[in-house]
Chain A
C-alpha cells in the first residue's frame, strides 16, 4: 500500500485527531518554542520576533542573583522532604489496606482516603488554616489549656514540613490506587506455596509482596524524579505570604514573580527553562539507571 492509499484510508482518523493535537501544539509545543525569550531581551510591546537576542546574558544575570540560589535551595529541600517522607506513605497505606480482608471496611476507608485528592489546593490550605492556623481549632484548644500558641502555619523553619504534610494529607490516599492495582496482580498461589513452606506473614511481605510491586515502585519513583523540581506551585504560591519568600520561594514562584509580576521576562524564562532541563535530565538519567538495574523504567524500546 502506498503512502497515498494509507493517507486516504485513514483520513477520517487523522481528521479526528486534529483538534486535540492542535491544542497540544498551540498550548504545549508553541510555549516550548517560546522559551527562546530566555535568550532575548524580551520587550512585550515589540514581541518575540523583534526582541533582540542577548545570548546567555539572562542566564548570567540569573546565576548572579542570590535570590535564585535561595529559590533553588528551597526547591531542593522541599523536593528532598517530599521524596523521603511522601513517597513511602502510599506504599505503606496500600500494604495495610491490602491486608484488610473485609471488602466493606476496605471500601469505606478507600472512599474517605481518596476524597482529598479531588479538593482544590485553595480549599486544602483553608482547611489546614482552620485546624492548625494561629486562630484555628488546635491553637484555640492549646490556649484554653493555657499552653500558648504554636505557629504551625507561619513559621518559616517548619515550612518544609507543613508543605509536605499537606501533600501527604491530600495525595497519599489517592497514591495507593496504583499500588493496590499492582498488589492485586500478584498470584495467590505464590503466597500459598510460601505459607506451606513455612514463611510467616513478614517473610511473605518481604519475599513476595514487595518484589511483586517493585516495577511499579521504580516507575513511579522515576516519574516523581522528573517532577521533583515542581514542588507544588499552587500550594506554595498560596502560602508564600504567610511565611515570607525567604523560606517559601521556589523556582516556579521565582519565575512567576520575576516575570509576570516584575516584567523581567527573559530572566524569568531562563529560570523556567533551567528547571525544565534539570527535570528532563533527571528523568532520563533515572530511567537509564533503572534499565541498568534490569527494570523496565518509563519507556522501553517499543511503546
Chain B
C-alpha cells in the first residue's frame, strides 16, 4: 500500500501546487466583478470651456474643460467643478465623493483611501452617502468600511476604462484659467 499512498500524494501535491501557481500567476484584476457597479458608455470627450449638462450625479464622463483637476491623492474640502473633475476621470482617476452630512469618522476613513490617481470631494447633490466614480463606471455606497471600495480602487485607478492611458494626474505647472 505504501507506494500507492506516495503516488496519490505526489499527484495531489502537483495538482494543488499547479493550480495554486496558476491562480497566483494570473490574478487578473480587470476581470474582478464588483457588485453594484453601473456602467455607461461615454463617447463625448471634447475640450469645452462652457458648462456641460451631465446626466449622472456626479458625472461619469463626457465633454470637459481643458484643465484637469490635480488627482494625485488630492483631498478637496469644498465641492469641485464638474468640468475639471471629468477631465481627471479621463486621465484614469477615481473620484470619491460624499454627502457633506456624512459622519466625520466615515470621512476620515475615506481620506485614508485617497492615494495616487484618485481624489476626493464633497458632493451635496448626490443621492447616496458615498459614491465612487471612474470614467463610465460608478458605485454607490452607504459606508466607508465597505470592502468594495478597495476593489474599485484596485480595478479602476488607471484601469482598463481609462480613455487616455498614461495621462498624468499632476496639475499643469503654472496652472491655467
Indicate, yes or no, whether A interacts with B. no
